[in-house]
Amino acid sequence: MALTKLNNKAVANVTSIPVALGDMVLVSSATASSSASIEFSLGNYKEYQFYFVNIHPSVNEASLGINFSTDGGSNYNVTKTTTFFQAYHFENGSATALQYSGSADLAQSTADQRIISGIDDDNDSSASGTLTLYNPSSATYVKHFISLCNTVYPEVPNLCVQQYCAGYGNTVSAINAVRFQMSSGNIDAGTILMYGIN
């Protein structure tokens, strides 16, 4: 067996090791508490994976939106073109649909992109899901992203809604910050995890 050398001399000082630790690294997490927004600074990972856990709005039917910054968070106004579709099902089984949502997509717009469209504000309601952002530090390519979320939509009775959004930040400038915020009110509660993947 070949000798494995650690990257520094003392075991007590080891901060990284040549042992497989998994290539998906928790970079940051934030737990909302009546937060106006949640922002993350990005580095040079090839891919970022976000997880949304029990996002709860302060205002009924508010949507969670995302936007990107190329100037470290001074401005969140990257031009985006996106698609958005969803499947829904009423809790009483009265109706279902699989549909493109023309009101939730963007065409070369700098506005926030809805990734969870409509969240019920009942105490036990929320929305959860994932979003992947690809190669945001590229100085060559546009920046693709794909999200999949599930929400309790406020109707009587409630709807279960599965929502897909995908698109790209139409810029070759590096994206170095991401912001999540509600379409109205604040992020009452919920956790967002950000992983880096190389």
**Per-residue interface string for the shown chain with other proteins, residues 80-99, x marking contact by CB under 8 A:** -------xxxxxxx--xxx-
Instruction: Give me the least distance between CB of 193 and other proteins, in Å please.
Output: 5
Determine, following the binding rule CB under 8 A, whether residue 53 of this chain makes contact with other proteins. yes
Total residues interacting with other proteins, rule: CB under 8 A: 50
Full 3-state SS string of 113-165:
EEEEEEECCCCCCCEEEEEEEECCCCCCCCEEEEEEEEEEECCCCCEEEEEEE
* CA distance to 12, 165, 187, per residue, from 115 (Å): 44, 6, 14
Determine, following the binding rule CB under 8 A, whether residue 48 of this chain makes contact with other proteins. no
* Nearer to other proteins among residue 29 and residue 101 (C-beta): 29
Report the DSSP pairing between strands 159-169 and 143-153: antiparallel
**Single-letter amino acid code for the residue at 23:** D
Candidates 14-22, 39-47, 61-69, 177-185; binding stretch for other proteins (CB under 8 A): 14-22
All residues at 6 or more sequence positions from 189 whose CB lies less than 8 Å from its CB, including other chains: 31, 32, 33, 54, 55, 56, 126
**Per-residue interface string for the shown chain with other proteins, residues 162-191, x marking contact by CB under 8 A:** x----------------------------x
Determine, following the binding rule CB under 8 A, whether residue 133 of this chain makes contact with other proteins. no
**DSSP letter assigned to residue 106:** -
**DSSP letter assigned to residue 196:** E
Which residues lie near other proteins (CB under 8 A)? 1, 4, 6, 11-12, 14-17, 19, 21-26, 29, 51, 53-54, 56, 87-93, 96-98, 123-130, 148-150, 152, 158, 160-162, 191, 193, 195
